[in-house]
Chain A
Amino acid sequence: MTIIVPSVSEKDLLEFMTGKATPTSWVLRLFVNNITPDDNTVLANLTEMTTNGYVTKALANANFIAVAGAVSFPATSTYNAAQTWTFTASGGANVVYGYYVTEVGNGRLQWVELFPTPKTVANAGDQIIITPTITLSRV
Protein backbone atom coordinates (compact mmCIF):
# COMPACT_ATOMS: atom_id res chain seq x y z
CA MET A 1 0.00 0.00 0.00
CA THR A 2 1.03 3.62 -0.25
CA ILE A 3 2.17 5.57 2.74
CA ILE A 4 -0.33 6.91 5.26
CA VAL A 5 0.19 10.28 6.87
CA PRO A 6 -2.17 10.11 9.84
CA SER A 7 -4.15 13.18 10.81
CA VAL A 8 -1.94 14.08 13.75
CA SER A 9 1.04 13.91 11.42
CA GLU A 10 -0.62 16.10 8.80
CA LYS A 11 -0.82 18.75 11.49
CA ASP A 12 2.88 18.36 12.23
CA LEU A 13 3.80 18.60 8.55
CA LEU A 14 1.69 21.73 8.12
CA GLU A 15 3.47 23.28 11.07
CA PHE A 16 6.78 22.46 9.41
CA MET A 17 5.56 23.85 6.07
CA THR A 18 4.47 27.16 7.53
CA GLY A 19 7.50 27.43 9.79
CA LYS A 20 5.32 27.28 12.90
CA ALA A 21 7.68 24.50 13.98
CA THR A 22 10.96 23.20 12.62
CA PRO A 23 11.70 19.50 12.22
CA THR A 24 14.91 18.26 13.78
CA SER A 25 15.57 14.90 12.16
CA TRP A 26 13.83 11.62 11.48
CA VAL A 27 14.02 8.00 12.52
CA LEU A 28 13.07 5.08 10.29
CA ARG A 29 11.66 2.05 12.12
CA LEU A 30 10.08 -1.33 11.41
CA PHE A 31 6.88 -2.64 12.99
CA VAL A 32 5.94 -6.24 13.70
CA ASN A 33 2.24 -6.11 14.54
CA ASN A 34 -0.38 -6.85 11.90
CA ILE A 35 -2.09 -3.49 11.60
CA THR A 36 -3.50 -1.61 8.63
CA PRO A 37 -2.59 2.04 9.24
CA ASP A 38 -5.25 4.69 8.76
CA ASP A 39 -5.89 8.36 9.52
CA ASN A 40 -6.22 7.66 13.22
CA THR A 41 -3.06 5.61 13.66
CA VAL A 42 -0.68 6.89 16.33
CA LEU A 43 2.72 5.73 17.49
CA ALA A 44 1.26 3.60 20.27
CA ASN A 45 -0.58 1.49 17.69
CA LEU A 46 2.69 0.21 16.23
CA THR A 47 4.89 -2.45 17.80
CA GLU A 48 8.50 -1.80 16.94
CA MET A 49 10.78 -4.69 16.08
CA THR A 50 13.25 -5.64 18.82
CA THR A 51 14.75 -8.92 17.62
CA ASN A 52 17.23 -10.19 15.03
CA GLY A 53 19.77 -7.46 15.66
CA TYR A 54 17.34 -4.72 14.68
CA VAL A 55 18.35 -1.10 15.19
CA THR A 56 16.64 2.10 14.11
CA LYS A 57 17.91 4.16 11.17
CA ALA A 58 18.54 7.89 11.58
CA LEU A 59 17.50 10.04 8.63
CA ALA A 60 19.14 13.45 8.33
CA ASN A 61 17.07 16.35 6.98
CA ALA A 62 19.78 17.38 4.58
CA ASN A 63 19.78 14.00 2.89
CA PHE A 64 16.26 14.27 1.51
CA ILE A 65 16.44 15.26 -2.14
CA ALA A 66 13.30 16.91 -3.49
CA VAL A 67 12.59 17.23 -7.17
CA ALA A 68 9.67 18.88 -8.90
CA GLY A 69 7.58 16.67 -11.08
CA ALA A 70 6.66 17.55 -14.61
CA VAL A 71 3.75 19.97 -14.82
CA SER A 72 0.76 18.54 -12.93
CA PHE A 73 2.82 15.75 -11.42
CA PRO A 74 3.71 15.63 -7.73
CA ALA A 75 6.93 16.81 -6.20
CA THR A 76 8.91 13.93 -4.73
CA SER A 77 11.43 13.88 -1.95
CA THR A 78 13.62 10.81 -1.72
CA TYR A 79 16.26 9.92 0.81
CA ASN A 80 19.67 9.90 -0.81
CA ALA A 81 20.48 6.31 0.09
CA ALA A 82 18.56 3.09 0.49
CA GLN A 83 18.37 2.00 4.13
CA THR A 84 19.36 -1.60 4.69
CA TRP A 85 18.81 -3.81 7.69
CA THR A 86 20.92 -6.96 7.69
CA PHE A 87 19.54 -9.23 10.38
CA THR A 88 20.86 -11.91 12.65
CA ALA A 89 19.15 -15.15 13.64
CA SER A 90 18.76 -13.93 17.20
CA GLY A 91 15.14 -14.15 18.24
CA GLY A 92 14.12 -16.70 15.64
CA ALA A 93 11.63 -16.09 12.88
CA ASN A 94 9.73 -12.79 13.05
CA VAL A 95 7.31 -11.17 10.68
CA VAL A 96 7.83 -7.51 9.72
CA TYR A 97 4.67 -5.83 8.44
CA GLY A 98 5.94 -2.44 7.44
CA TYR A 99 7.91 0.65 8.36
CA TYR A 100 7.24 4.01 9.90
CA VAL A 101 9.01 7.32 10.39
CA THR A 102 9.08 9.38 13.57
CA GLU A 103 10.35 12.90 14.10
CA VAL A 104 12.99 13.33 16.78
CA GLY A 105 11.79 16.71 18.04
CA ASN A 106 8.18 15.87 18.80
CA GLY A 107 8.64 12.11 19.03
CA ARG A 108 5.47 11.49 17.04
CA LEU A 109 4.66 9.21 14.15
CA GLN A 110 4.94 11.10 10.84
CA TRP A 111 4.12 8.50 8.26
CA VAL A 112 3.73 4.75 7.99
CA GLU A 113 3.55 2.18 5.23
CA LEU A 114 2.40 -1.40 5.26
CA PHE A 115 4.47 -3.70 3.05
CA PRO A 116 2.47 -5.21 0.17
CA THR A 117 3.38 -8.58 1.66
CA PRO A 118 4.82 -9.16 5.15
CA LYS A 119 8.51 -10.06 5.32
CA THR A 120 9.71 -12.92 7.53
CA VAL A 121 13.13 -12.43 9.06
CA ALA A 122 14.69 -15.65 10.32
CA ASN A 123 18.25 -16.14 9.20
CA ALA A 124 21.52 -14.34 9.60
CA GLY A 125 21.98 -12.22 6.52
CA ASP A 126 18.28 -11.68 5.79
CA GLN A 127 17.75 -8.12 4.63
CA ILE A 128 15.07 -5.48 4.38
CA ILE A 129 15.88 -2.47 2.19
CA ILE A 130 13.82 0.74 2.15
CA THR A 131 14.32 4.01 0.31
CA PRO A 132 12.15 6.60 2.10
CA THR A 133 10.15 8.65 -0.39
CA ILE A 134 7.34 11.12 0.08
CA THR A 135 5.35 12.93 -2.59
CA LEU A 136 3.20 16.02 -2.41
CA SER A 137 0.50 16.92 -4.88
CA ARG A 138 -2.60 19.05 -4.95
CA VAL A 139 -6.00 17.38 -5.13
Chain B
Amino acid sequence: MTLLVPDVGELNLLNRALGKVTPTNLTLALFTSNTTPADGDTLSTYTKMTLTFGYTDLTLTMANWTVTTIANVASATYAQQTWTFTGAAGNQYGYVIHDGTSLVYAERFAAGPYNILNNGDIIRVTPVITLSKV
Protein backbone atom coordinates (compact mmCIF):
# COMPACT_ATOMS: atom_id res chain seq x y z
CA MET B 1 0.00 0.00 0.00
CA THR B 2 1.05 3.61 -0.28
CA LEU B 3 2.14 5.53 2.75
CA LEU B 4 -0.44 7.18 4.96
CA VAL B 5 0.01 10.53 6.65
CA PRO B 6 -2.36 10.45 9.63
CA ASP B 7 -4.00 13.55 11.04
CA VAL B 8 -1.19 14.12 13.53
CA GLY B 9 1.31 13.81 10.69
CA GLU B 10 -0.49 16.41 8.58
CA LEU B 11 -0.35 18.78 11.51
CA ASN B 12 3.36 18.14 11.99
CA LEU B 13 4.15 18.64 8.30
CA LEU B 14 2.11 21.86 8.09
CA ASN B 15 3.95 23.28 11.07
CA ARG B 16 7.28 22.35 9.50
CA ALA B 17 6.28 23.74 6.11
CA LEU B 18 5.31 27.10 7.56
CA GLY B 19 8.25 27.37 9.94
CA LYS B 20 6.01 27.23 12.98
CA VAL B 21 8.37 24.70 14.49
CA THR B 22 12.08 24.17 14.09
CA PRO B 23 12.53 20.92 12.19
CA THR B 24 14.64 18.09 13.55
CA ASN B 25 15.82 14.82 12.08
CA LEU B 26 13.12 12.22 11.49
CA THR B 27 13.37 8.61 12.65
CA LEU B 28 12.67 5.52 10.54
CA ALA B 29 11.50 2.42 12.40
CA LEU B 30 9.93 -0.95 11.62
CA PHE B 31 6.72 -2.06 13.25
CA THR B 32 5.81 -5.58 14.31
CA SER B 33 2.12 -5.08 15.06
CA ASN B 34 -0.42 -6.20 12.47
CA THR B 35 -1.60 -2.64 11.95
CA THR B 36 -3.25 -1.14 8.91
CA PRO B 37 -2.43 2.58 8.97
CA ALA B 38 -5.40 4.90 9.46
CA ASP B 39 -6.05 8.63 9.79
CA GLY B 40 -6.50 8.54 13.55
CA ASP B 41 -3.21 6.79 14.26
CA THR B 42 -0.53 8.02 16.61
CA LEU B 43 2.89 6.53 17.22
CA SER B 44 1.51 4.44 20.07
CA THR B 45 -0.85 2.74 17.61
CA TYR B 46 2.17 0.80 16.38
CA THR B 47 4.43 -1.65 18.14
CA LYS B 48 7.90 -0.74 17.03
CA MET B 49 10.55 -3.42 16.55
CA THR B 50 12.48 -3.86 19.76
CA LEU B 51 16.17 -3.15 19.82
CA THR B 52 17.15 -6.78 19.39
CA PHE B 53 18.67 -9.00 16.67
CA GLY B 54 20.85 -6.17 15.47
CA TYR B 55 17.91 -3.84 14.84
CA THR B 56 18.08 -0.12 15.59
CA ASP B 57 15.90 2.81 14.63
CA LEU B 58 17.52 4.82 11.83
CA THR B 59 17.98 8.58 11.80
CA LEU B 60 17.06 10.45 8.63
CA THR B 61 19.34 13.46 8.62
CA MET B 62 17.54 16.58 7.41
CA ALA B 63 20.25 17.69 5.02
CA ASN B 64 20.37 14.32 3.28
CA TRP B 65 16.91 14.47 1.71
CA THR B 66 16.91 15.04 -2.04
CA VAL B 67 13.91 17.02 -3.28
CA THR B 68 13.06 17.13 -6.98
CA THR B 69 10.16 18.07 -9.20
CA ILE B 70 9.28 15.85 -12.14
CA ALA B 71 6.18 16.38 -14.27
CA ASN B 72 4.76 18.84 -11.73
CA VAL B 73 5.04 16.41 -8.83
CA ALA B 74 7.54 17.22 -6.09
CA SER B 75 9.21 14.32 -4.31
CA ALA B 76 11.57 14.10 -1.36
CA THR B 77 13.72 10.98 -1.43
CA TYR B 78 16.14 9.61 1.11
CA ALA B 79 18.88 7.10 0.37
CA GLN B 80 17.90 3.46 0.75
CA GLN B 81 18.04 2.30 4.35
CA THR B 82 19.02 -1.26 5.25
CA TRP B 83 18.50 -3.35 8.34
CA THR B 84 20.56 -6.53 8.55
CA PHE B 85 19.27 -8.80 11.29
CA THR B 86 21.27 -11.20 13.41
CA GLY B 87 18.50 -13.66 14.21
CA ALA B 88 14.80 -14.53 14.29
CA ALA B 89 13.22 -11.10 14.79
CA GLY B 90 9.82 -12.25 13.53
CA ASN B 91 7.24 -10.53 11.40
CA GLN B 92 7.83 -6.98 10.22
CA TYR B 93 4.59 -5.45 8.94
CA GLY B 94 5.79 -2.07 7.78
CA TYR B 95 7.59 1.06 8.81
CA VAL B 96 6.83 4.35 10.51
CA ILE B 97 8.55 7.69 10.29
CA HIS B 98 8.28 9.79 13.39
CA ASP B 99 9.42 13.13 14.74
CA GLY B 100 10.35 12.53 18.35
CA THR B 101 7.26 10.86 19.78
CA SER B 102 4.95 12.18 17.05
CA LEU B 103 4.00 9.97 14.12
CA VAL B 104 4.54 11.58 10.71
CA TYR B 105 3.58 8.74 8.42
CA ALA B 106 3.36 4.97 8.15
CA GLU B 107 3.39 2.41 5.42
CA ARG B 108 2.42 -1.22 5.62
CA PHE B 109 4.50 -3.47 3.40
CA ALA B 110 2.35 -4.36 0.40
CA ALA B 111 3.82 -7.86 0.22
CA GLY B 112 4.40 -8.21 3.93
CA PRO B 113 4.74 -9.15 6.60
CA TYR B 114 8.35 -10.13 6.16
CA ASN B 115 9.28 -12.83 8.62
CA ILE B 116 12.86 -12.41 9.74
CA LEU B 117 14.21 -15.85 10.55
CA ASN B 118 17.94 -15.93 9.97
CA ASN B 119 21.14 -14.13 10.74
CA GLY B 120 21.79 -11.99 7.67
CA ASP B 121 18.15 -11.44 6.66
CA ILE B 122 17.70 -7.93 5.30
CA ILE B 123 14.93 -5.37 4.96
CA ARG B 124 15.49 -2.30 2.83
CA VAL B 125 13.34 0.86 2.73
CA THR B 126 13.78 3.94 0.55
CA PRO B 127 11.80 6.80 2.14
CA VAL B 128 9.93 8.89 -0.45
CA ILE B 129 7.32 11.59 0.11
CA THR B 130 5.47 13.25 -2.77
CA LEU B 131 3.50 16.46 -2.65
CA SER B 132 1.00 17.40 -5.32
CA LYS B 133 -2.23 19.32 -5.50
CA VAL B 134 -5.49 17.39 -5.62
Asked whether, in the complex, the Cβ of B129 is within 8 Å of the Cβ of A14, the reply is yes
Asked whether, in the complex, the Cβ of A22 is within 8 Å of the Cβ of B23, the reply is yes
Asked whether, in the complex, the Cβ of A66 is within 8 Å of the Cβ of B20, the reply is yes
**Chain A residues within 8 Å of B20, by CB:** 61-62, 64, 66, 77
* 5 A–B contacts, CB within 8 A, in A order: A14-B129, A20-B76, A26-B18, A76-B14, A134-B18
Asked whether, in the complex, the Cβ of B73 is within 8 Å of the Cβ of A7, the reply is yes
A15 to B107, CA, bound (A): 21
In this assembly, does B121 line the interface, its C-beta being within 8 Å of a C-beta of chain A?
no
Asked whether, in the complex, the Cβ of A74 is within 8 Å of the Cβ of B19, the reply is no
With both beta carbons as reference points, the residue of chain B lying nearest to A67 in the complex is identified as B11
Which chain B residues have a beta carbon within 8 Å of chain A's beta carbons? 4-5, 7-8, 10-11, 13-20, 22-26, 38-40, 60, 62-63, 65, 67-69, 72-76, 129, 131-134
Partner of A75, one of B4, B10, B131: B10
Q: Mark A68-82, 1 if CB is under 8 A from B, else 0.
A: 111111111100000
Asked whether, in the complex, the Cβ of B10 is within 8 Å of the Cβ of A19, the reply is no
How many A residues, CB 8 Å from partner?
41
In this assembly, does A8 line the interface, its C-beta being within 8 Å of a C-beta of chain B?
yes
Asked whether, in the complex, the Cβ of B76 is within 8 Å of the Cβ of A17, the reply is yes
Which chain A residues have a beta carbon within 8 Å of chain B's beta carbons? 4-5, 7-8, 10-11, 13-20, 22-26, 39-40, 61-62, 64, 66-77, 134, 136-139
List the count of A-B residue pairs having beta carbons below 8 Å apart: 128
Asked whether, in the complex, the Cβ of B65 is within 8 Å of the Cβ of A19, the reply is yes
Q: Quick one: given A66-B14, A77-B14, are A16 and B19 in contact (CB under 8 Å)?
A: yes
Other contacts beyond A7-B72, A17-B13, A77-B14: 4, CB < 8 A: A17-B23, A22-B19, A64-B19, A67-B11
With both chains docked as a complex, state the minimum distance between the C-beta of B112 and any C-beta of chain A, in angstroms: 21
Asked whether, in the complex, the Cβ of A71 is within 8 Å of the Cβ of B40, the reply is yes
Which 9 A-B pairs rank lowest in CB-CB distance, beginning with the nearest? Answer: A19-B62, A19-B23, A61-B19, A75-B10, A10-B74, A23-B19, A18-B65, A11-B74, A7-B72
Partner of A74, one of B10, B16, B63: B10
Asked whether, in the complex, the Cβ of A75 is within 8 Å of the Cβ of B129, the reply is no
With both beta carbons as reference points, the residue of chain A lying nearest to B16 in the complex is identified as A17
